[in-house]
A = this chain, B = another copy of it.
Amino acid sequence: MTGPSIDAARLLGRIRTLGEIGRDSDGRLVRLAASDTEKLGRDQFVAWIRDAGLEVAVDRIGNIFGIWKAGGVADEAPILIGSHIDTVIGAGIYDGCYGTLSGLEVIETLKAEGLTPSRPIAVAAFTNEEGVRYAPDMMGSLVYVGGLDIDSALATIGTDGTILGRELERIGYAGEHRPGFLKPHAYIELHIEQGPVLEREGIPVGVVEDLQGISWQRVTITGDANHAGTTPISMRRDAGHAAARVVTFLRERAKASNTPTVATVGCMSFEPNAINVIPSRAIFTVDLRDPDEDRLREEEAALANFLESLSTEEQVGISAERLARFEPVKFDQSIVRLVEKAARERGLACRRMTSGAGHDAQMIARIAPSAMIFVPSAGGISHNPKEFTADEDLVAGANVLLDVVRRLATEGTPK
């Protein structure tokens, strides 16, 4: 059986409204964690939580919660629905926001239909999921489950030299609550796929049963600044050229393998960065992902070995610093089955899949049974203004979330 459905117009309207908050002069959507623009997004989300008659709670790392404490069950472990509202630079409007606003939409719908839940239901927007301004990403949920000490997290220095704790205070989102103050009975996150699989197969609902492991490193290569016109090639210690060799090595290795391993160099900078000076330093990041922990370790080892030989060949100094490391995650099979059941009952085709992206769900999975629901991303494009999911798919995904939460909130422990 399926109960009532969510208010499609309200959900879609809020996604578009939030998507206009934080546009820069070029029209790019930029709501970096704890920034002025993200504060505006947070304020809007909190306003909607209050409109829905939910209790607002903010913890010390800035995670925002909207809690529906239905009569008499205030002390039960809640069903938690979450995601994030911070963005990358030049983001789309769906990543994170879709899941967060759908969580709120689901609670409002269940309230409106007069459901009597067996436990509280809460929606969460976790701080700094993207990790663009402060590393590591998924920081809010990581701190929430005790995976990162709150004080070290608040002391994190951003790419712009700011300190996260200070920024949270500045924008008014350094809350009182202890991270982890709500221990979920179950956690579920609805998200756009950010990959091409569902669209390619024409399937509207992805049932996410596991998630890739993620390895982030910052590599610094040190050579010799020298004159570009008078230094013979054979005498150069060119940090920029050595960095370029790492980029091509990673691509060639990924292309040669038939594994789902992906490697990305997203950040790169040269010093002194002058036209006629051989780079004395190159600093860049490496993002490695694989659903299999052993294979991810192999990739990390292969990179380490290459850097070692490169250091000798190019006569440069090389150091690598770990920025983030998460093992692949297996989600809760009982919730995964609930999602499949809910999709089927809505007459929606679905398939089990692996998440290629990191999500807050992988952190919360450490303290509660968790799972995720995916909807298609046009062209698999995300972290890009062209990020798009059809309204029909957005609404379908939110209704599957609604049915799963209704069941979890009435049937008790997922079996």
**Is B266 a contact partner of A380 (Cβ separation < 8 A)?**
no
Q: What's the interface size class on A, roughly?
A: 35 or more
**Is B274 a contact partner of A89 (Cβ separation < 8 A)?**
yes
Q: Which residues of B contact A280 (CB under 8 A)?
A: 90, 384
Q: Does A381 belong to the interface (CB within 8 Å)?
A: yes
**Is B274 a contact partner of A88 (Cβ separation < 8 A)?**
yes
Known: A235-B380, A384-B224. A266 touches B273 (CB 8 A): yes
Q: Does A303 belong to the interface (CB within 8 Å)?
A: no
**Is B270 a contact partner of A276 (Cβ separation < 8 A)?**
no
Q: Which residues of B contact A279 (CB under 8 A)?
A: 265-266, 268
Q: Does A154 belong to the interface (CB within 8 Å)?
A: no
Contact of A241 among B248, B272, B358 (CB under 8 A): B248
Contact of A276 among B88, B251, B355 (CB under 8 A): B88
| Most B-side CB within 10 Å, residue of A225, A228, A265 | A228
Q: Which of A155-195 contact B (CB under 8 A)?
A: 193-195
**Is A272 a contact partner of B90 (Cβ separation < 8 A)?**
yes
**Is A275 a contact partner of B248 (Cβ separation < 8 A)?**
no
| Most B-side CB within 10 Å, residue of A132, A244, A255, A357 | A244
**Is A287 a contact partner of B382 (Cβ separation < 8 A)?**
no
Q: Does A203 belong to the interface (CB within 8 Å)?
A: no
Q: Does A227 belong to the interface (CB within 8 Å)?
A: yes
Q: Which residues of B contact A44 (CB under 8 A)?
A: none
Q: Does A413 belong to the interface (CB within 8 Å)?
A: no
Task: Report the Cα distance A226→B195, complex, angstroms.
Answer: 9
| Interface residues as binary, A253-294 with B (CB distance below 8 Å gives 1, 0 otherwise) | 011000010101111111011111111101001010100000
> Shortest distance in angstroms between A387's beta carbon and chain B's nearest beta carbon?
9
**Is A275 a contact partner of B270 (Cβ separation < 8 A)?**
no
**Is B357 a contact partner of A135 (Cβ separation < 8 A)?**
no
**Is B90 a contact partner of A230 (Cβ separation < 8 A)?**
no
Q: Does A214 belong to the interface (CB within 8 Å)?
A: yes
Q: Does A356 belong to the interface (CB within 8 Å)?
A: yes
Known: A227-B195, A287-B228. A247 touches B241 (CB 8 A): yes
Task: Report the Cα distance A383→B285, complex, angstroms.
Answer: 27
Known: A135-B275, A225-B90, A240-B266. A233 touches B248 (CB 8 A): no
**Is A240 a contact partner of B265 (Cβ separation < 8 A)?**
yes
Q: Which residues of B contact A241 (CB under 8 A)?
A: 247-248, 251, 265
Contact of A384 among B90, B226, B251, B270 (CB under 8 A): B226
Q: Does A137 belong to the interface (CB within 8 Å)?
A: yes
Task: Report the Cα distance A267→B381, complex, angstroms.
Answer: 29
Contact of A195 among B225, B231, B356, B380 (CB under 8 A): B231
- CB<8 Å pairs between A and B, sample of 16: A90-B280, A131-B275, A195-B231, A196-B230, A196-B231, A224-B384, A228-B264, A232-B380, A233-B254, A240-B265, A244-B244, A266-B275, A269-B269, A275-B285, A277-B384, A280-B384
- A131-B276, A241-B251 given; name 17 further pairs at CB < 8 Å: A89-B273, A137-B275, A194-B227, A194-B229, A196-B230, A212-B229, A225-B383, A228-B266, A230-B355, A238-B251, A240-B247, A241-B248, A244-B247, A244-B265, A266-B279, A267-B270, A268-B282
